[in-house]
Amino acid sequence: MPPRLTELSRGAGCGCKLPAAELMPMLATLRAPADARLLVGAATGDDAAVFELAPGIVVVQTIDFFTPIVDDPFDFGRIAAANALSDVYAMGGTPMTALNVVAFPLERLGAEPLRELLRGGLTVTTMAGCTIVGGHSIDDPEPKYGLAVTGIVDPGRMLTNAGARPGDALVLTKPVGAGAIATAHKRGAATADQLARAVEVMAALNERAGCQALAAGAHAATDVTGFGLLGHARALARESHLTVRIRARDVPALNGALELLEDGAGVSGGLRRNRTYADSFTDFGAGVSPVQELLMCDPMTSGGLLVALPPERAAELDGIAVGEVVRGRPGGIEVVP
């Protein structure tokens, strides 16, 4: 009997990212030549790059791929595609074309799981109105899948992680904890219902959230993925030169995630790395429980958007207000009960 997809991977979903604490300092030493056409590049750690091809013609580009977070190839494809497209939505853009990025042990697993994986990606990109125009594949004992996506964006309405303003509300458009549930399920500790709900959350497009953010006059946005809620909030705070305050009690969790974190079944290596990284920029207030701290560091795969916008317009997004942007230590995070 062929092995399960998750048996072949060391990490799971966006939890397989290289640690932010090690990656960011290295990237800071690599500076590409200046180009006035590059409107958003790697220096700000944003979700995607934005490049002006010609006056009025602006594209947004991203690539994202990872190891299996679930065993069903179709669901793996759906989640990976939604995750890659999310980077474009987080910039206020519209995805137009995509290229498949595939690493797969074809001889060991056979053609049918690969076909289902690609069908999952195609299903989600079709829903998004994005056309898959090709791709690249390699033989690899550890499966990996994702997309390189090109979209368009109006530079006058573009969202970045650098535009938050003091007093902005922070709205999160998906619950967190999918990493904990996937980890626990791999260990036989999460229920089928918990996993099914996590899969549907991860496979859901952020298209509606991106449109709502633009319509509500959002000032900044990012999506929440492998560095956890705190890691991605940190990027928004850093690039906006402000402090983000998060209310732990308001952070929405997938059903079962808190319990699985509390008993340790949902704690992954990626989560531990994120938690250690968070200590370098986060002040946890008295009354914030250890399990809440873990939840906010959980490496989310294909998470929601974290949107900074005027507080009077926060209710216009389908999400939960989890905090606010305040004056303070640039790049700092304050977590209150």
Active site residues: 14
Q: Distance between CA atoms of 220 and 198, rounded to whole angstroms?
A: 26
Q: 10: how many CB neighbours lie within 10 A of its CB? A: 9
Q: 322: how many CB neighbours lie within 10 A of its CB? A: 23
- Spatial contact of 52 and 155, defined as CB atoms under 8 Å apart: yes
Q: Distance between CA atoms of 206 and 300, rounded to whole angstroms?
A: 14
Query: Percent helix, strand, coil in the chain (nearest 5)?
Result: 40, 25, 35
Angle of helix 228-240 relative to helix 290-297, nearest 10 degrees, comes to: 70
Q: Distance between CA atoms of 78 and 72, rounded to whole angstroms?
A: 10
Q: Distance between CA atoms of 12 and 179, rounded to whole angstroms?
A: 8
